[in-house]
Structure 1
Amino acid sequence: MRKVEEFEELRPLLFSLAYRILGSVGEAEDAVQETWLRFDGAAVRPVSVKAYLSAAVTRVAIDVLRSARVRRERYVGPWFPEPLLDDPYQDPERAAELADSLSMAALLLLERLSPLERAVFVMREVFGFGYDEVAEAVERSPAACRQLLVRARRHMAAGRPRFAAARAEREELASRFFAALHEGDVDGLQELLAADVTMVGDGGGKAPQFARAVVGAEKVARLLGSVFPWMRQVGVVLTPQRINGHPGAVFRTADGKVLHTLVLDILDGRIRTVRGVLNPDKLGHLGPVADAWSVDREIRQARRRRS
């Protein structure tokens, strides 16, 4: 029983580690489960249960990531992490690092790293593990881990925006955005968007979506302002929700099934990126998933009736 209690106490940490390495809720949960099996089967009690389990889940996640990278290279369209509504692990001393590393933008930057660089960066930079603990987890020397971290930091810094918006500013802007979206207010949407805003969706070939990224405030505002009123016509509702620590919304059908999510990247008082996760395979952890193709057909039929 003691093993179970110790493991459950550390489960939030293990999941949060694995999710940041993998960018997938399902794969992170599987990695945590595999870690439990290894811990349960271990004949000798580790000196530090936390260090042992953290190293074990990191090794499992590295192995999964190596195989997942091949699948992601063959993925239809852009690949986004699975949306996460709540991070189960909280540490006041590392709150800033944890929050920063959870965003869609940060997770996409992590995709540029090798599996080892990604694991070292997450363990050391995000969770603050010592170099000896990191070295044990990735099976490299502490000196090698320092070099991996230097490279990882360089890649991450090169892709990060210089000035991030404060949380209160993001929330206020997002509130205005979703209010305008709800009303189909094209002008209201456009004034909140950066001139070079990009809207892009991850359907993975399994959901209807725009064929490519939409760029420019006018184009994005017109597309959003014209589509959502028709979605409302067929009963789709949006619920503003923090997703990966940033403003976003979950869209559901009239019967409460998840249709897709949207997440906003905000910088310098404007929305810079609108990311939609539409692939049904990435939404199941949020609840029952809607048939997006069926909703698309309903919208098309509603439009034909009105024309």
Structure 2
Amino acid sequence: MAGAGTGVQDRAEEFEQLRPLLFSIAYRILGSVSEAEDAVQETWLRYETTTTRPDSLKSFLSTVVTRISIDVLRSARVRREEYVGDWLPEPLLSDPYEDPARAAELADSVSMAALLLLERLSPLERAVFVLREVFGFGYPEVAEAVGRTEAACRQLSARARKHMEEGRTRFDADREAREELAARFFAALREGKVEGLQELLSADVQLVGDGGGKAPQLARHVQGADKVARLMAGAFPPVFSIGTIVDAREINGQPGALFRDREGNVAVAVLLDIVDGEIAAIRSVINPDKLGHLAPLADVWAMKDEWNRTRRG
């Protein structure tokens, strides 16, 4: 019994070392923190009951979590087609997996823009792209993970890579400059001046909100600097007058902020795409189902009532 217990402990320790990688693979395939965590937990349960020792634990566990994620994604796609309004990935504050040799690929692939591009791929293309192009797995490992031949995986990878390159957003690389622009944006929101906001926005800026039909939201989808600036300038000063806190954060590798109520509970996550020194997209996730992993949740309906009273006043 002691030997068996030690074996379980050893397995658990080995698994924990690979957990960051497994989560990062699953999150990029699924675009969901909660579903990725479930996929990793299911991977552990399968590994715990495996009677044979794999030649490469990394390859074995990556295969298991990839296959689980593909199955989850296929069922999730039906739900996303019926989703109320625009669907956005669940915000991620920090990616637990680090690999200096692939830092650029890891950072690019976790942005909201990249995850939304990945949504357009088939589940197999998405999995192959994530394993091959993001994490640098060899084609034999990729083929084993998705249950296809190496030749088929090369074709899948080529199609996925072409699609991702065509739609890729070239974000500003200067982190300090991005953070400074984001700070100016949130300050302009507080002031509520249309001109102050307009000068920070690209001409075709997009404002996208994801409430999922479960939370009030400013707008689902608005495009154009003038429309976006006027909408936000009119709506946000009352938001701050009710004690809303802007907690500036890097979210999905891009500048953003968590908007919190006066008690510090999270109401919404806002992410900014900054391209050529301008804000090209503003994405807000307010669906409470997508924010629970970040912190205790605010009562956004109560906040809306207080906001309405302030505006009328």
Unaligned runs of 5+ residues in structure 2 are 1-8
Do residues 16 (structure 1) and 10 (structure 2) align? no
After alignment, is 164-173 or 76-85 more displaced? 164-173
- Which residue pairs with 2:168 in the alignment? 160
- Corresponding residue to 2:143 among 130, 135, 141: 135
Unaligned runs of 5+ residues in structure 1 are none
Residue 50 of structure 2 aligns with an amino acid whose one-letter code is: A
- Which residue pairs with 1:243 in the alignment? 251
Task: Tell me the distance in 2 between the aligned counterparts of 1:182 and 1:64.
Answer: 41
Q: Structure 1 stretches (4+) deviating beyond 3 angstroms?
A: none
Q: Provide the secondary structure at the position in 1 that maps to 2:298.
A: coil
After alignment, is 220-229 or 258-267 more displaced? 220-229
- Which residue pairs with 1:71 in the alignment? 79
Task: Tell me the distance in 2 between the aligned counterparts of 1:104 and 1:9.
Answer: 27
- Corresponding residue to 1:205 among 192, 206, 213: 213
Q: Over residues 156-212 of structure 1, what are the superposed CA-to-partner deviations in whole Å (9 max), with x where a residue is unaligned?
A: 112113x43113332221121122223323322110001111101001011112444
Task: Tell me the distance in 2 between the aligned counterparts of 1:203 and 1:297.
Answer: 17
Residue 175 of structure 1 aligns with an amino acid whose one-letter code is: A
- Corresponding residue to 2:55 among 25, 32, 47: 47
Q: 1:93-132 maps to which residues of 2 (within 5 A)? A: 93-132=101-140
- Which residue pairs with 1:35 in the alignment? 43
C-alpha RMSD of matched pairs (Å): 1.1
- Which residue pairs with 1:291 in the alignment? 299
Do residues 144 (structure 1) and 148 (structure 2) align? no
Q: Using structure 1 for the length normalisation, give the TM-score.
A: 0.97
- Which residue pairs with 1:255 in the alignment? 263
Q: Provide the secondary structure at the position in 1 that maps to 2:279.
A: strand
Residue 259 of structure 2 aligns with an amino acid whose one-letter code is: F
Q: Provide the secondary structure at the position in 1 that maps to 2:90.
A: coil
- Corresponding residue to 2:90 among 82, 90, 115: 82
Task: Tell me the distance in 2 between the aligned counterparts of 1:124 and 1:110.
Answer: 14
Residue 164 of structure 1 aligns with an amino acid whose one-letter code is: F
- Corresponding residue to 2:224 among 208, 216, 223: 216
After alignment, is 226-235 or 192-201 more displaced? 226-235
Please tell me whether the aligned partners of residues 208 and 219 of structure 2 are also in contact (alpha carbons under 8 angstroms).
no
Task: Tell me the distance in 2 between the aligned counterparts of 1:303 and 1:231.
Answer: 9
- Corresponding residue to 2:67 among 59, 62, 83: 59
**What percentage of residue pairs aligned between the two structures are identical?**
67
Please tell me whether the aligned partners of residues 70 and 123 of structure 2 are also in contact (alpha carbons under 8 angstroms).
yes
Do residues 173 (structure 1) and 181 (structure 2) align? yes
Task: Tell me the distance in 2 between the aligned counterparts of 1:222 and 1:95.
Answer: 38
Please tell me whether the aligned partners of residues 143 and 150 of structure 2 are also in contact (alpha carbons under 8 angstroms).
yes
Task: Tell me the distance in 2 between the aligned counterparts of 1:186 and 1:288.
Answer: 33
Task: Tell me the distance in 1 between the aligned counterparts of 2:223 and 2:171.
Answer: 21
Residue 101 of structure 2 aligns with an amino acid whose one-letter code is: E
Q: Using structure 2 for the length normalisation, give the TM-score.
A: 0.95
